[in-house]
Amino acid sequence: MIDAIQAAYVVAILGAAIFSGWLLAPYVVGVYNRSPGRLDRFLDPLENLIYRVVGADPAHTMDWKQYFLAALLVNIVQMAIAAFILLFQGSLPLNPQGFSGLSWDLTFNTVVSIATNTNLQHYNGETTLSYLSQMSAIQFLQFTSAATGLCAAVAFVRGLTNGSRDMGNFYVDFVRSITRILIPLCFVAALVFVALGVPQTLGGYVTVKTIEGASQTILVGPVASLVSIMQIGTNGGGYYGANSAYPFQNPNPQSDILEIFLMLLLPTTLCFVYGLMLGKKRETRPVLFGAYALFAIDLIIAFIPTSTLNSGMEVRFAGFWSAFWTVVTTAVTTGSVNSTLASQHPLVVLSAFMGMLIQSTPGGIGAGLMYMVMYAVITVFIVGLMSGRTPEYLGFKIRSRDVLLVMSAFLIHPLIILVPTVLAYATGAASTIGLGTNSLGFTQVLYEFTSAAANNGSDFLGSMADTPFFNVSTGVVMFLGRYAPMGLLLALSGSVIGRKRSPESGLKTDTIAFTAVLVGSIMILVVLTFFPFLALGPILSYFQGNVNGLG
């Protein structure tokens, strides 16, 4: 288990994230409610210009179908633009390294990966992508994917709010997410990263002579700006193939702690935003307490054996920080790494699986909040059946269609994980890249598709999975894992608009008791669904004594 100093670090970082989220939440609510602010005189003219250029009417309101289709259309157009840049980067400017364009299947995988907030990387950025591709295709999509997640969550909460008449306007929410939340936060974070030693330059790679007289190429570029959005937006895609295990991307313990904090910031903030937008601050309790209770369970699993802290070690930070990072990055479905997953203890990997399978601990930006409310609706329905009372949530009665929508959103996840995992072995795609059928190989394949479905992006395979099968299959999984649950949960929220509310809910959902039941039901649902497959992977590896790593 961890010692007192390490426990103090955990408490301090999580406490800082919760406190910062509480401070930031009123500002975020003001952004989406279009409350007057000090930045209006500077940003309103810019935002109005954007609306005129794209032909959007900021006064127009949308139902859930219009909102979702607008988000989907905008994301697909952005994917097309990014695909053009990646395919033809060899003929485009800002390519001092002379990199050629990507193959069609790697391009498809990359644009879907970044646009869906997954950032699964089947490429090594420093040896594959030009500066233009890194800044426009990758960083551009990291901002827009994070903004899409924020918009979906806010629209979802609007629909649940008593007295709401619409879901808002996606284009307004999208623009304001970028100009008033993501860019200001990332600008400040990038400056701090530069101060901590993370490079930010367009000067090209530098070749130097070492003391031994050999030549060495120093791989630098616009790294600090990418690190800021990859962590704040829970994207996870790094400038380098080694991600934040690469010294230039994560040079010291201070940058390591900052990156962990930034991953937690906005998902935690949205827990407070939920209660504020509903006008029921106490409803923050089950969302926030439930998320961090599940997070605590993940930490306990990861830190059970002392050997956990001695495996997966990144020597600059030691094993504790590698394990802690892994739990955080999968709990908020960021997917960035500061050590190789292949050398982690099986229980750390099991904890990572739990974060990605639950997706609300506290989950990715926007998606985590939506999933937690989904679990709350399922829990209220189950408790209502057990107690013989009509299930109600936030004052509205839960109908059969509501249950169908939330269960469909839940069941999509195992479907898009398990089917392609089986296909990887049935088609021979797994053996083609050297993966066996033992517990270690199965863990790697299962993790690949779990990470894709959860829009997490951390994986064991990296550029080894740059094959047509894995590029296309994970691309499809990422697309479905992002937009299918989003559409279903927006449909749930949209169906609540105008529905009669009772003044007092049949079941108090803002209590510690309900939070405990919520956490229990989430664990039961996930364990019953995925335990047989986890038993064949990391659990079997643990009992077989593979405690020094999975690779």
Is the bond into 305 cis (omega within 30 degrees of 0)? no
Residue 487: per-residue pLDDT:
97
Q: What is the pLDDT of residues 475-495, one digit of tens each?
A: 999 999 999 999 999 999 999
Model confidence, pTM:
0.93
Q: How far is CA 278 from CA 117, 159, 258, 274, 284, in A?
A: 26, 10, 31, 6, 10
Q: pLDDT tens-digit profile of 88-146?
A: 999 999 998 899 999 999 999 999 999 999 999 999 888 899 999 998 899 999 999 99
pLDDT at 1 > cutoff 80: no
DSSP-derived 3-state class of residue 246: coil
- Residue 315 confidence class, pLDDT cut points 50, 70, 90: low
Task: Look at residue 313 and tell me whether its pLDDT is greater than 90.
Answer: no
Report the distance separating Cα 122 and Cα 82, nearest Å.
Answer: 16
pLDDT of residue 469: 97
- How confident is the model over 492-511, as a mean pLDDT? 84
Residue-averaged pLDDT of the chain:
91
pLDDT in tens, 380-392: 999 988 877 788 9
* Partners of 459 in the β-ladder: none
Distance CA 518, CA 226 (A): 36
Give the residue-averaged pLDDT of 363-379: 96
How far apart are alpha carbons 348 and 343 in whole angstroms? 10
Q: Are 487 and 68 in contact (CB under 8 A)?
A: yes
Look up residue 375 and give its two tokens.
């679990």
pLDDT band at 312 (very low <50, low <70, confident <90, very high): very low
Tokens (6 digits) for 66? 């219009």
What are the backbone angles phi and psi of residue 217, rounded to the nearest 5°? -95, 125
DSSP state, residue 463: G
